[in-house]
């Protein structure tokens, strides 16, 4: 080994020390700069409201039209609109529920909006806003593979998996305190929706989920059912960080007070959950069966009708199923006939020569639906305008207008389907129908009809893709169709 000696050694030693010192200072300077940059980057924009959520049918998802949707999304969007400029909306979507609260508590999000149940344990962690929905935790099972679980003993030695850090785990622990033999596994890899699908496929025996999600999933998997309830019903609310959520809570309280008063909340709850209890499992099973046996013969006709009217072919197919169950030779006692169950008057209006001709029936039904939609005020937003169009297709636009007038007289919103349904249901009450322009109506029927079509359409959206015909030179550009109006007059 060589040792440095003399001036040369001293010089080299001094240079080495100086180099090391400079490197250390530079490193400290770089680290300090990086820390300042990280702090500057981490400082949130006070006018950007960051919501943390999860993907699910009841929170946040991209619908079949490639638009953002979900109850939590729609509420968040309206909250930011309520605050007004310069506030902006940002969504942070985490891949499992157990990441929602950590994201909120470390300051990466301002509000947690993920179908969150208010529980005593969570109230010690976070600050909750006003409750806007109520749900019930249910044991989910596959009726083809298991008996209905009505007791804790029915869950013993079963394959039970729950989503980690959810209120369902808290509920199961409460049950376990009385029945120590009860065991289960928890996962942060699968969502409630995925666990329900696992039950449907018999990969696990049971999971626990909220009743509204179970109702949605039953439309896709009719073999699913809900067994015993766990605990009392839970209230759903947004969560805030206790350290800096007081000001936001005040804004939140004002917002929910407003949308509850003006009917917006009622309308949104109806939009996502109002139709989910209409179909029984046997109805879903029959629909899915016929979608594989009968529907393929008519898919091309529904898509052709979409090319002309721009109405989603799956909605037309759902409407046709509700009308005829895709039985081309269906005929009612009142002599409405064919796939779209056209009346003689509608057939004449649409130049139909043979109502039992599938091509003529589907195209005429689609055009008539479009014509009905054009008679409904354009200010009515979607999807309410489509729902009202379906009701009018079933029972005429006159009764629809009477129902809207009644809703308005009740102080409700005549442009909201959730409120118009209430108007419809009063048209068999003499206190209301004697003053209605079109008189008495057994108008529970168009409400049920519309909700059933909505339900079938939801199933269609799950199992059948959208159809994009591209630019079609024959697509109707003007929906008023004066030639139809002339025939109708």
Cβ atoms of 431 and 280 closer than 8 Å: no
- CA distance linking residue 387 with residue 373, whole number of Å: 10
- For helices 358-374 and 313-324, what crossing angle results, to 10°? 110
157 three-class SS: coil
Q: Which letter does DSSP use for residue 184 in this model?
A: -
Q: Where are the beta strands (DSSP E) in 23-110?
A: 48-53, 61-62, 68-69, 88-93
- CA distance linking residue 122 with residue 98, whole number of Å: 12
Cβ atoms of 364 and 352 closer than 8 Å: yes
Sign of CA dihedral 473, 475, 477, 478: positive
- For helices 264-273 and 417-424, what crossing angle results, to 10°? 90
CB count in 10 Å sphere of residue 316: 26
Residue partners of 443: CB distance under 8 A and separation at least 6: 395, 399, 403, 424, 425, 427, 428
Cβ atoms of 232 and 292 closer than 8 Å: no
| Closest C-alpha to 197, from 213, 227, 215, 217 | 217
- CA distance linking residue 396 with residue 349, whole number of Å: 15
| Closest C-alpha to 117, from 204, 211, 226, 253 | 211
Compute CA distances 401 → 18, 25, 80, 136, whole Å.
88, 79, 33, 36
Cross-strand partners of 163: 187
Q: Report residue 315 as tokens.
A: 């909605």
Active site residues: 323
Cβ atoms of 458 and 478 closer than 8 Å: no
Q: Which letter does DSSP use for residue 342 in this model?
A: B
Phi-psi group of 112: left, alpha or beta (phi > 0 → left; psi -120 to 50 → alpha; rest → beta): beta
Phi-psi group of 231: left, alpha or beta (phi > 0 → left; psi -120 to 50 → alpha; rest → beta): left
| Closest C-alpha to 421, from 438, 441, 442, 407 | 407
* Residue with the two structure tokens 């009018």: 392
């Amino acid at each position: 080994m060589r040792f440095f000696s003399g001036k040369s050694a001293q010089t080299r030693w001094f240079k080495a020390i100086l180099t090391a010192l400079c490197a250390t200072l530079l490193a400290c300077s770089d680290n300090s700069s990086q820390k300042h940059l990280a702090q500057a980057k981490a400082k949130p924009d006070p006018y950007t409201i960051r919501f943390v959520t999860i993907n699910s049918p009841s929170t946040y998802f991209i619908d079949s039209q490639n638009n953002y949707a979900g109850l939590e999304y729609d509420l968040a969007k309206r909250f930011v609109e309520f605050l007004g400029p310069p506030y902006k909306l940002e969504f942070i979507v985490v891949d499992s529920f157990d990441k929602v609260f950590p994201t909120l508590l470390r300051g990466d999000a301002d509000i947690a909006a993920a179908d969150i149940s208010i529980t005593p344990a969570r109230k010690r962690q976070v600050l909750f806003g006003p409750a806007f929905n109520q749900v019930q935790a249910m044991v989910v099972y596959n009726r083809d593979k298991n008996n209905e679980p009505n007791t804790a003993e029915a869950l013993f030695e079963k394959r039970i998996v729950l989503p980690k850090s959810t209120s369902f785990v808290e509920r199961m622990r409460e049950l376990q305190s009385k029945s120590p033999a009860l065991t289960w596994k928890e996962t942060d890899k699968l969502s409630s929706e995925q666990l329900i699908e696992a039950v449907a496929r018999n990969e696990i025996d049971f999971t626990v989920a909220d009743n509204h999600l179970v109702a949605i999933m039953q439309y896709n998997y009719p073999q699913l059912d809900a067994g015993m309830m766990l605990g009392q019903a839970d209230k759903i609310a947004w969560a805030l960080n206790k350290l800096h959520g007081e000001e936001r809570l005040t804004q939140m309280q004002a917002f929910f007070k407003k949308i509850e008063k003006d009917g917006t909340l009622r309308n949104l709850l109806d939009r996502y959950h109002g139709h989910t209890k209409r179909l029984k499992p046997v109805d879903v099973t029959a629909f899915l069966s016929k979608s594989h046996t009968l529907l393929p013969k008519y898919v091309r006709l529904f898509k052709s009708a979409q090319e002309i009217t721009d109405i989603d072919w799956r909605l037309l197919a759902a409407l046709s199923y509700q009308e005829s169950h895709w039985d081309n030779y269906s005929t009612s006692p009142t002599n409405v006939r064919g796939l779209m169950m056209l009346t003689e008057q509608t057939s004449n209006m649409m130049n139909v020569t043979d109502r039992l001709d599938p091509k003529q029936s589907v195209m005429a039904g689609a055009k008539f639906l479009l014509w009905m939609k054009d008679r409904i005020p354009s200010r009515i937003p979607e999807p309410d305008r489509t729902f009202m169009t379906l009701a009018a297709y079933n029972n005429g636009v006159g009764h629809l207008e009477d129902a809207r007038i009644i809703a308005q007289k009740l102080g409700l919103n005549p442009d909201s389907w959730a409120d118009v349904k209430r108007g419809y249901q009063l048209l068999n009450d003499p206190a209301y129908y004697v003053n209605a322009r079109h008189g008495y109506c057994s108008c529970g029927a168009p409400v049920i009809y519309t909700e059933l079509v909505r339900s079938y359409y939801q199933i269609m959206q799950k199992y059948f893709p959208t159809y994009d015909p591209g630019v079609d030179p024959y697509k109707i550009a003007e929906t008023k169709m004066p030639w139809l109006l002339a025939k109708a007059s």
